[in-house]
Amino acid sequence: MNKNEKIFLSNIAETLRIHSIRMTTAAGSGHPTSCLSAAEIMSVLFFRQMKYDPRRLDSPDNDGFILSKGHAAPILYAAYAEAGAIPVSELDGLRTFGSVLEGHPVPGLNGIRAATGSLGQGLSIAAGMAFAVKQDGGNQRVYTVLGDGEMAEGNVWEAMNFVSHYGLDNMTAVLDMNRLGQSEATMFEWNSKEYADRARAFGWETFDVDGHSIEELAYGFERAAASGKPALVIAKTVKGKNGGEAENADGYHGKAFSKEEAEGLIEKLRSRIEPVDFVPQNHISAKRDKPEPRNVSIETSYTKEEMVPTRTAFGKALAKIGGQDPDMIVLDGDVKGSSRTKYFFQEYPDRGRETYIAEQNMAGMLIGLQAYGKRAAAASFAAFLTRAHDQFRMGAYSRARFLIAGSHTGVSIGQDGPSQMGLEDIAMMRSIFGSLVLSPSDAVSAEKLTALGLNYKGIAYIRTIRGETPVIYDNSEEFTAGGSRVLKSSANDHATFVATGYTVSEALKAAERLEKEKNISVRVIDCYSLKPMDSETLRKAAEETKIIITVEDHYPEGGLGEAVASQVSGYGKVFSLSVTRMPHSGSPEKLIREQGIDAESILRKFHELLGDI
């Protein structure tokens, strides 16, 4: 490296420090000391190592970058400002209402492809991006900056395994080993061997560098890129570097400097900057826009009354749709025989990827895949998707689009018992910001809702069933986000049964028996879209029939019953049948009977409320 470049990069590092201190002090909050340790790392990455176009940060032609230690957001914003991607004046908005420069990174600023700030997720997002690059035959590299505290997160090691197992040699992770966590020193402080041994055991190459030496960083990044393996550059740094008393000191995490402190520090930092003539050589001219997945469609050919598990229909739909979009990738958490993603894997072995029993990495990768323009989907048992709740939450803040399928929902799975039963998935996925939550009851709706979910510009969830349910829909039926289907109605309905998924056929059975045996009509609604929900149809039913009985194979909290009660409040009275007893093993029939969500129980509830009429 020539002298001028070294001075230039050192100047940039100090300038990033100045911005970071000024921004956080102006905001009155933030994590300046977590920025100060990373100044040389960011300088060398953004002004020497990474190939990217500062005028076109969202292009997939750029090398990828994920700031996994999201609390160092100010220094990332500062780097983009110094690269000319955003005006320096915008930096003053940090953390204020309406600014895209939020406390932790979120898309809004081009170049920020995913939200970070919940630690330990960045490497999985980067793995998704690196995998997308490989699929496209590109040679972009994907960079991640990690904090040392977050190395305790299991998600990091799930990603480490995936990346080395599939040979994603286009990844460089940089560990900002600044010794101090939030509340005390990290587990391994400055013992870089602890990190190196772990990463090497997980199949990565590692490089130890002084994280405040421009030359060591530059050389380390070069060797990492040339190593032919995924590489971890372990940069020994000082938290609060050049931050006066905050240097390497406890008690400064997440605290802005006072105005006076900031002024003093900034003056000193300015004095370290010496004029130099140098133009960085790493900026490129990006060509491509990020591709947007186009809408896919599906046609079905089932026979009424045919018995088909919705998980099977989902899997077949994936395989059908796979042919329409060469950019569609499906991940699976070692349950592809059960989730039925196996049909896609069989058809498109190069686009189905086994992520093994590591749901957090699977979910994080979805964010990365779609950030590079892929249509992404993943499946596991609904119960095990709870493992990735945080990643889905962060996916929403990442403005990500992908489809998740949860199979084996409800006590209706039977003998395997509660550990395998998805009984909180509706609550979990409804609580994800902007999500679409779908719950098909038969094969026709399952296939069509799979297509709907794959077209949704946000996080879509489809809830499938292990056992067989009868086909109830014509192949011509259409399904919409926020829709429902009135399966049975008359001008003289005495109540409405609202069901979803498995319980739809039970509700229909109950209504048909009432009709046949007692000549009592009841309305039946298949509430296949749990979020958004068809409040118009539900309110009309509540007004006209006064009484609604909801029935779901899910816990009451956050499920169908509560959602409907909230939608129709003031229009009619809602009684909820759901899973309220400790679930356990047994035959599906006995279990749905015990929980009171079968046809018999619906009838019992109806008579309890309305007598014999």
Minimum distance from residue 299 beta carbon to a second copy (Å):
28
Nearer to a second copy, 394 or 471 (CB): 394
**Spatial distance between the Cα atoms of 386 and 110, rounded to a whole number of angstroms:** 30
Alpha helices in 348-459 (DSSP H): 359-371, 382-385, 389-397, 425-430, 443-455
Per CB under 8 A, which region of 241-249, 308-316, 332-340, 469-477 contacts a second copy? Answer: 332-340
Minimum distance from residue 53 beta carbon to a second copy (Å):
27
Site for a second copy in 86-145 (CB under 8 A): 95-99, 102-104, 106, 115-120
Minimum distance from residue 612 beta carbon to a second copy (Å):
21
Catalytic residue among 205, 359, 552, 562: 359
Does 566 engage in binding with a second copy (CB under 8 A)? Answer: yes
Interior/surface letters 53-69, b for 16+ CB within 10 angstroms, e for the rest: bbebbbbbbbbbbbbbb
Nearest Cα neighbor of 402 from 448, 449, 459, 364 is: 459
Residues 394-423: x where in contact with a second copy by CB under 8 A, - otherwise, as a string = x--x----------------xxxxxxx--x
Per CB under 8 A, which region of 44-52, 150-158, 365-373, 468-476 contacts a second copy? Answer: 150-158
The helix or strand, by DSSP H or E, that contains position 503, with its residue range, turns out to be: helix 503-513
φ, ψ for residue 80, nearest 5 deg:
-65, -35
Tokens of 353: 């990827």
**Spatial distance between the Cα atoms of 462 and 529, rounded to a whole number of angstroms:** 9
Tokens of 274: 């010496």
Nearer to a second copy, 301 or 419 (CB): 419
Nearer to a second copy, 187 or 613 (CB): 187
Site for a second copy in 43-72 (CB under 8 A): 70
Longest distance between any two alpha carbons in the chain, whole Å: 93
Position of tokens 């793995």? 127
Task: Specify whether 589 is catalytic.
Answer: no
Task: Please give the full DSSP string across 70-137, using - where no structure is assigned.
Answer: GGGHHHHHHHHHHTTSS-GGGGGGTTSTT-SS-SS--TTSTT--S---STT-HHHHHHHHHHHHHHTT
Q: Of 5, 53, 153, 552, which lies in the binding site for a second copy, with binding defined by CB under 8 A? A: 153
Amino acid identity, position 95: R
Does 315 engage in binding with a second copy (CB under 8 A)? Answer: no
Minimum distance from residue 547 beta carbon to a second copy (Å):
9
Site for a second copy in 236-265 (CB under 8 A): 253-254
Does 154 engage in binding with a second copy (CB under 8 A)? Answer: yes
Per CB under 8 A, which region of 216-224, 323-331, 466-474, 588-596 contacts a second copy? Answer: 588-596
Nearer to a second copy, 332 or 493 (CB): 332
Does 181 engage in binding with a second copy (CB under 8 A)? Answer: yes
Nearer to a second copy, 11 or 391 (CB): 391
CB 308 within 8 A of CB 302: yes
Nearer to a second copy, 31 or 448 (CB): 31
**Spatial distance between the Cα atoms of 399 and 435, rounded to a whole number of angstroms:** 11
**Spatial distance between the Cα atoms of 430 and 426, rounded to a whole number of angstroms:** 6
The count of chain residues that interact with a second copy, using the rule CB under 8 A, is 109
Site for a second copy in 512-541 (CB under 8 A): 531
Nearer to a second copy, 161 or 170 (CB): 161
Q: Of 449, 574, 577, 597, which lies in the binding site for a second copy, with binding defined by CB under 8 A? A: 574
CA distances from 34 to 39, 75, 185, 324, 357 (A): 9, 9, 13, 46, 33
Does 565 engage in binding with a second copy (CB under 8 A)? Answer: yes
Does 320 engage in binding with a second copy (CB under 8 A)? Answer: no
CA atoms lying within 13 Å on the CB side of residue 241: 23
Beta strands 468-470; 307-309: pairing state: antiparallel
What residues contact residue 262 under an 8 Å CB cut-off, 6+ apart?
21, 22, 25, 256
Per CB under 8 A, which region of 133-141, 222-230, 550-558, 599-607 contacts a second copy? Answer: 550-558
Minimum distance from residue 555 beta carbon to a second copy (Å):
5
Site for a second copy in 369-388 (CB under 8 A): 383-384, 386-387
Does 283 engage in binding with a second copy (CB under 8 A)? Answer: no
Does 454 engage in binding with a second copy (CB under 8 A)? Answer: no
Does 230 engage in binding with a second copy (CB under 8 A)? Answer: no
Query: Which residues are annotated as catalytic?
Result: 359
